[in-house]
Structures are given as structure tokens and as C-alpha cells.
Chains A and B, each alone.
Chain A
Amino acid sequence: MSATPLKQTPLNAMHRRLGGRMVEFGGWDMPVQYPAGTVEEHQATRTRAGLFDVSHMGEIEVRGPGAIAFVNRLCSNDASKLVDGQAQYSALTTERGTVVDDLLVYRFGPEHLLLVVNASTTDKDWDWITSHKGEEDVQLSNRSADFCQIALQGPSAINILQTLTETPLEEIKYYHFREGKVDGVDAIISRTGYTGEDGFEVYAAPGHAEALWQKMLDAGRYGEPDGVLPCGLAARNTLRLEAGMSLYGHEITEETTLLEANLGWITKLNKGDFTGREALAHQKEEGIKRKLVGFEVTDRGIARDGQDVYVDGRLAGQVTSGSPAPYLKKNIGLAYVPVEHANVGREIHVDVRGRKVAARIVPVPFYKRSRQ
């Protein structure tokens, strides 16, 4: 741990007032859970609504005539396919096709993109992006301190948020956004999230964070049995894991390629050149050697991050994320295994503190919400 003081989001005092248990996360002082507890927070998000402070995420603005070409050269997905008001999941890649970070690319206009990156990697990403500036005519600015970001997620999220805005939320499609007012203040309203539920991520000036958060709690009838719950990092993690989403530093790192991580769908090898394209094209042709799979523990026991995975008695890989899944009521995880063993139904074993616990490879996502 470094001696530098932890960074705080504009909601830090609010988290403490709500009884959040604060922990260090990627250099930030963040709530890991509130008094309701991780399981309740998780269930609230699956069945009603959960409120998350994600203001620690970084925002990097790319402006200028070369904005799309620049982002397309650094990122794996095809930013030229975006229309105004659309967002795209993408990745910053190394020359080896591994991952500097995963991110969302928002298109405000043909010459105006916003990259939303992970909190713990914001500084690294900023250095990477600025040091890879090339011929394109772009202006880059690190806008991370200019936004708070609040995620309201769950089946009730749309109805709760609609009471605070005149923007017709039903018209915003998944992975699209609008600029509008929420509680009377300028905001970006994005139909995105990291929970596997329908929901929104609202960006606004940090000075409005407390009022917006409080309004969302009130509109969601926080405190009543069927009300919204504020959710900490622990619930955010279990929700994304059930939904089969990768977490940077776990499933995806500078040592894992996009293809190994099942992110071929954001790897557009035919869009033109980008950092890592050659390596990824080569790997695609040769075939990957290991692959990220989902598993369900079939014995008693909980697999955890970093534990060894055995196939046929031989060390075969590692768990990247392992946890109880509160909604599914199973113990699940993601792990890298050799591609020849990466088939659904295959039995593997996880070394849980010296005990070999049986698990079975299952399809990912583990949880998929039912759509109306």
C-alpha cells in the first residue's frame, strides 16, 4: 500500500452517513457494503433496484476531426460504427493483443468521443493514450475530475429515474445515451451498466452528486421493504460475475489476450489496423491455447480468485474470479483452462486452500435476466 492518501468521490461523506463500510480500492476510499449487506444489496438489484457510486471511474475526452480514427487505432472494437448517442464496449490493446484496459466509448458527435475507463487504471490509460498520439488531429483531456457517475440498476431503475427527468427513458435503447436534465441539472443519461440488469448510468458535475444520489434514494423509497438499496463494491462484483462480465485485473490483464478472454466480439480484425491487430489475427489463425470459462462448484466449498485449477489431476490454470453467487445460490467462478478442456460439462477441480473441490464448466453468463 502506498502512502498517498486515498482519493474520495464526491459521495464519500454520503457513504459514511449511510453506514457504508469503507475500503481501499484502486487508490480510492469506497464502500464495500452498506448495513443491509452484500446479499441483500445484490438481491435488491436483481429484483428491484440498486444504487452504485461509480464516480471513481475515469473519463477521457477525445475531440477533433481525427477522434474516431485515433480511438479506432488504439481500441479493438470499431468506433466508426457508432452513431451519435451510442456507446460501445471496447478495449485498449497492447501490441501483443493483451489488454491495457476495457472501456466504454461514447460518441457525442463525429469529432467528440468520451472514453470511460476503470478507476484503478485511469492514470495508466491516460499515459498510454497520450503517449500513443500519432498523426490524427485530436485534443485529449482527462476529464475524470469533472464527473460524478451514479449507476441505478435493476428492473425498477427506469421507473425510479423517470420521476427525476423529462427525458423519455424508454426511448433510450440499451448501450445508448442522451444528454438531458436529471433533477434539474445537466446530465448524461446512459442505458448501460455492470450488473446484468436493465438500468442507467448518470453522469453529472461532481457538485450535484449528493443531491442526485439523495433524490434517487428518495424516489426509490430507500428504507421501505421494497425500496432501492445503495450497493457497495462487493455487490457490484457479485452482480457482474453472475452476469459473466470481465473485471480488469482479473479476467483481463496485460497478460491475457482478448481472444482468450472470450472478447472476440469486440475484436474487429477487419476494421483496419489497430494496436495488437497483427498479434490477434495471428492468434486467431493459430488458435488460442487457453480460454476463459465459467464454472460452478459441485462439491461443498467456495472457489476464490487466484486459486489453482486442475484438470485430470494436472495443474491447468487459475481462477480469475470466484465467489458465492447470491441470486443463483451457487458458488461460481471464471478461470483460464487449456482450450482442449474448455468444454461445457467438463469436470475440473479447484484447489481451495489445500482441498481439491470439484466443479463443472458451465455456459457464461451464469445469469441472464428475462426480458419483457
Chain B
Amino acid sequence: MANVPEGLYYSKDHEWLKVEGDTGTVGITDHAQHSLGDVVYVELPKQGESFSAHDTFGSVESVKAVSELFLPVAGEVTEVNESLTDEPEQVNNDPYGAGWMLRVKLSNRGEVDSLLSAAEYEDYIGSLE
């Protein structure tokens, strides 16, 4: 069973969002990393870039496939996880921790209400199987 921690917001594109004040931290879910298989490459935007909700902000690649990454909410990138350049496997090993991808300054805090809770996301991935 995929790990779906409480206290995070989730998107149907399998990203998670952790909100602290007006800062959001973004990564992909355990379910997503498991479906992808061994992550060998992560392409992330630069600090300072701005995105609307649901914009593609990068891509994550396994040996077999490429998956686009979608930002669950609008924001400006304040920090990217540079360590994924050399150690992309952190996305597999610790998707909610060391495998985080971006920190963004949220443009509209209210957007998080459209995202799924842990329980809702769990139901959602259950419905995909």
C-alpha cells in the first residue's frame, strides 16, 4: 500500500503539497514514485520562476518513461532541491522527505481548498487500481 501521510494536500496528478504559512513544499507521492519505478533524472525550474496552478514545472524520468510534473497551486519558486541532480533516487527512497522538489511562495492560499486530503487521495488512488 502506498504511504499517504496526513497533513499534506494532494493533487490528482500525484503531487503532494505541504503548506507552512505562505510557503508550499511540493513533491510527488509514494504512489507516483512507485508507479514510475527507479527515478534516474529530475528536471526542475529555476528559482524565481512563476507558475499558475496546474502548470508543468518540470519532469521526472525513470529508465522507462518520462512524466511531467504539475504544480498543484500557483506560486513563485523560492527554492529547488538541487540534491536531486546527483541523487534522483531520493524521490523513490523518501518521496515526502529528502525527495521534495520545490518550495514556492503561494500566490493564492485559497487554492489549496481545491486539493485532496490524505483520505480523499487514498480513495482516489484506490479507484485507479
Contact = CB atoms under 8 A, between A and B. Distances in A.
B62 A38 contact: yes
A324 B63 contact: yes
Contacts of B85: 300
A304 B63 CA distance: 10
Interface residues of B, number: 12
B66 A304 contact: yes
A234 B65 CA distance: 10
18 contacts: A33-B64, A37-B37, A37-B38, A38-B37, A38-B38, A39-B38, A40-B38, A42-B63, A237-B64, A238-B63, A301-B41, A301-B43, A302-B40, A302-B66, A324-B41, A324-B61, A326-B63, A331-B41
Contacts of B63: 38-39, 42, 234, 238, 323-324, 326
Interface of B: 37-38, 40-41, 43, 59, 61-64, 66, 85
Interface string A21-64: 00000000000110001111010000000000000000000000
B64 A32 contact: yes
A46 B71 CA distance: 39
A234 B64 contact: yes
Contacts of A331: 41
Contacts of A301: 41, 43
Interface size class of A (residues with CB under 8 A): 10 to 19
A32 B63 CA distance: 11
A353 B59 contact: yes
A76 to B, nearest CB: 31
Given A301-B43, A324-B40, 12 more contacts: A32-B64, A33-B37, A33-B64, A38-B38, A39-B40, A40-B38, A234-B37, A234-B64, A300-B41, A323-B64, A324-B41, A324-B63
Q: Which 8 residue pairs are nearest across A and B when measured between Cβ atoms?
A: A38-B63, A234-B64, A39-B38, A324-B40, A37-B38, A324-B63, A302-B61, A302-B41
Nearest to B63: A38
A237 B62 CA distance: 13
Contacts of A302: 40-41, 61, 66
Interface of A: 32-33, 37-40, 42, 234, 237-238, 300-302, 304, 323-324, 326, 331, 353
A300 B84 CA distance: 13
Contacts of B59: 353
A237 B66 CA distance: 16
Contacts of A40: 38
Nearest to B64: A234
B46 to A, nearest CB: 14
A238 B85 CA distance: 22
Contacts of B41: 300-302, 324, 331
Contacts of A39: 38, 40, 63
Contacts of B37: 33, 37-38, 234
A234 B38 CA distance: 11
Nearest to A40: B38
A238 B61 CA distance: 14
A42 B63 CA distance: 11
Contacts of A234: 37, 63-64
B49 to A, nearest CB: 15
Q: Of B38, B59, B61, B85, which is in contact with the most chain A CB atoms at under 10 Å from its CB?
A: B38
Contacts of B40: 39, 302, 324
Nearest to A36: B38
Q: Of A234, A237, A300, which is in contact with the most chain B CB atoms at under 10 Å from its CB?
A: A234
Q: Of A300, A324, A331, which is in contact with the most chain B CB atoms at under 10 Å from its CB?
A: A324
Nearest to B68: A353
A237 B64 CA distance: 9
Nearest to A42: B63
A239 to B, nearest CB: 11
A323 B64 CA distance: 7
B66 to A, nearest CB: 6
Contacts of A300: 41, 43, 85
A20 B117 CA distance: 30
A324 B89 CA distance: 14
A280 to B, nearest CB: 34
B90 to A, nearest CB: 15
